Amino acid sequence: MARALRILVVEDEAILAMQLEDDIVAAGHEVVGFGMHASEAMRLADQLHPELALVDIHLADGPTGVGVARHMAANGIPVVFMTANVTRIPADFAGAVGVIGKPYTPASLRSGIDFIVARMNGEDPPAPRGAMVLSPEWRERQRGKRQ
Residue 1 has pLDDT above 50, yes or no: no
pLDDT at 131: 78
- Residues 5-26: pLDDT tens digits? 999 999 999 999 999 999 999 9
Domain that holds residue 30: 6-146
Ramachandran bin of 82, using left for φ above 0, alpha for ψ from -120 to 50, beta for the remaining angles: beta
- The answer to whether position 43 is within a domain reads yes
pLDDT at 142: 73
- Residues 96-133: pLDDT tens digits? 999 999 999 999 999 999 999 998 888 888 877 777 89
Mean pLDDT of 60-69: 95
Q: How many domains does the chain have?
A: 1
- The answer to whether position 27 is within a domain reads yes
Contact 107, 130 (CB under 8 A): no
Query: In 80-115, which positions are buried (b, 16+ CB within 10 angstroms) versus exposed (e)?
Result: bbbbebeeebeeebbbbbbbbebebeeebbbbbbbb
pLDDT at 145: 60
- The answer to whether position 1 is within a domain reads no
pLDDT at 96: 96
- Residues 30-53: pLDDT tens digits? 999 999 999 999 999 999 999 999
- The answer to whether position 81 is within a domain reads yes
- The answer to whether position 110 is within a domain reads yes
- The answer to whether position 127 is within a domain reads yes
- The answer to whether position 115 is within a domain reads yes
CATH number of the domain that residue 38 is part of: 3.40.50.2300
Instruction: Report how far residue 63's alpha carbon sits from residue 41's, in angstroms, rounded to the nearest whole number.
Output: 13
